[in-house]
Amino acid sequence: MSNIYGDWLKQQREAADLTQQQLADIAIMTRSHIAHIEAGRRVPSKEDARRLDRALNTGNVLSSFLPEEDAAVADYFEAARQLESQAVMIREFALSFVPGILQTEGYARAVLSTAFPRIGEEERDRRLVTRLERAKVLDDPVTPVVWALLDEAVLHRRIGGRRVMAEQLGHLVRLAEGGRIQVHVLPFALGTHPLLSNMLTLMWFEDQPPVAYAEGLHMGMLHDAPSVVQELQHRYDFALGNALPLKETLALLTATARGYEGHD
């Protein structure tokens, strides 16, 4: 995003003769959060922006002019997308599709082509660019830590054809073998499990409480109530305990990818 917002915040803070720590104390935030906003690495929440306005006596400027990014995502996902880019740990559960940040270009294009009602090629390409931009969180070799828990259906639901599936599963294997992600499969033989009804993303941050994002058909919900987030974390942990170990998961992914190879 443009750093005009962060630069202006810094100017107002310095004009008020406040250090980052002093502003953080007044606005009930952390110094690192202030530093990230000023550097353009984070977008404050609406509540954070309101507290900053009160702390700096800037009326409603910071809350009224929050940066807007030209991102093509569903309205209900926008808040989760912003948090995704700030997280230090992300745990994904996928029921039908490979999680967005782990999708290859071919797989993402095939997923977006199934939109209903159908969308034009230009809009599909806009959404594709946004999805691939989200995947850039993996460019950092360390942060965020990413765990992917996949229902076995994800491996066998043929999205985009055999070649696309082979490439996608191979991508997951390479990320896991390189140590960039942890991936586990919940096998069909398990039967029912606590996450069977939704896809789920759990996110942890350096300087704010964890949140959970759950999504179903044409709807999504961001949860920040501690009791709800904790329950969803427990559901994830319970399901993870029944998943295949990493070594067995990679063997299954590799074998399934090979089954797709050589066909169209």
HSE on the CB side for 36, CA within 13 Å?
Answer: 18
pLDDT at residue 262, as a whole number: 65
- Distance, in Å, from the CA atom of 160 to the CA atom of 152, rounded to the nearest integer, reads 17
Of 1 and 144, the one with more pLDDT: 144
The pLDDT tens digits for 88-133 are 999 999 999 999 999 999 999 999 888 777 877 777 788 788 888 8
- pTM for the predicted model, two decimal places: 0.73
pLDDT at residue 219, as a whole number: 72
pLDDT at residue 202, as a whole number: 96
What average pLDDT does this structure show over 170-184?
Answer: 97
The residues facing 94 across adjacent strands are 150
pLDDT at 168 over 80: yes
The residues facing 87 across adjacent strands are none
The pLDDT tens digits for 192-201 are 999 988 899 9
